Amino acid sequence: MRSIIIAGNWKMNKTIGESISMVKELKTLVRDIGDRAILVCPPATALSSVGAELKGSNISLGAQNMHFEENGAFTGEISAGMLKEIGVEYVILGHSERRHVFEEDDSLINKKVKTAISSGLKPILCVGETLEERENGRMEDVVSTQLSDGLGGIEDIKNLVIAYEPVWAIGTGKTATPSQAEEVHVLIRKVLGAIFDDEISEGISILYGGSVKPGNIKELISQDNIDGVLVGGASLDAKSFSEIVKC
């Protein structure tokens, strides 16, 4: 049985005050949900306060990024240990905005995934093709490479989560159809089977991300290989995120 994970990636949105009032409302709205992991990923400045507000609730805390080194001269960066100290459980790594806006490549992302796992954080490794790559018939190749390079040299995958986020569906309102998403999730599971083995692959939760909303969640989550979602825009509002959580 794979865990169902409903995660909200707030990106660079919300002050501490806004974050606290959002999670206060969310806690009440989802307090009876016990069969899935619920996760919010606020900006770094709000992590600590949101973590304190979430104590004792059924909502977990995630970060949006981290550095792979333990400490040192890395101005502006945050380490896994610093995240653990404030109660962070998950960390999003290799998000398409990190890859495309901040030029993170698979080898850097691989180091981050290794550090996250060895530090006891649960990495959510994001993969996904651009529209141009899809239209040029390169989707399979791009996603497979992001997985094999991003996961190179990793043996302990106990806490690993994968998110498929087609770049053309992020923030565009254009969701992959459930069958388009399922097709790539099946491919991802096949690649994970080749990297590790089929039994391990069957146990890894694969989330879908890209314009997920209360109106399209049911169809997406009903697919065999979609084990949850990573939500951007619709996770900023407690009501709409709670509707997705309750799907």
| Neighbour count for residue 215 (Cβ, 10 Å) | 12
Q: Which two tokens stand for residue 169?
A: 């569906």
Nearest distance, CB of residue 81 and ligand 13P, angstroms: 24
Q: Which two tokens stand for residue 187?
A: 């491919």
Q: Is 95 considered catalytic here? A: yes
Would you count residue 211 as binding ligand 13P (CB under 6 A)?
A: yes
Would you count residue 231 as binding ligand 13P (CB under 6 A)?
A: yes
- What residue ranges in 90-205 does DSSP mark as E strands? 90-93, 122-127, 161-164
Radius of gyration (Cα) for the chain, nearest Å? Answer: 17
Would you count residue 230 as binding ligand 13P (CB under 6 A)?
A: yes
Asked if residue 112 lies in contact with residue 66, where contact means CB atoms within 8 angstroms, the answer is: yes
Residue span binding ligand 13P (CB under 6 A) among the ranges 79-87, 134-142, 177-185, 224-232: 224-232
Q: Is 100 considered catalytic here? A: no
Would you count residue 165 as binding ligand 13P (CB under 6 A)?
A: yes
Q: Is residue 151 classed as helix, strand or coil in its secondary structure?
A: coil
Q: Which residue in the set 17, 120, 152, 171 belongs to the binding site for ligand 13P (CB under 6 A)?
A: 171
Pairing of strands 59-63, 90-93: parallel
Nearest distance, CB of residue 228 and ligand 13P, angstroms: 12
Interface with ligand 13P in residues 1-20 (CB under 6 A) = 9
Q: Which two tokens stand for residue 41?
A: 């990923």
Catalytic residues: 95, 165
| Residues near ligand 13P, by CB under 6 A | 9, 95, 165, 170-171, 209-212, 230-234
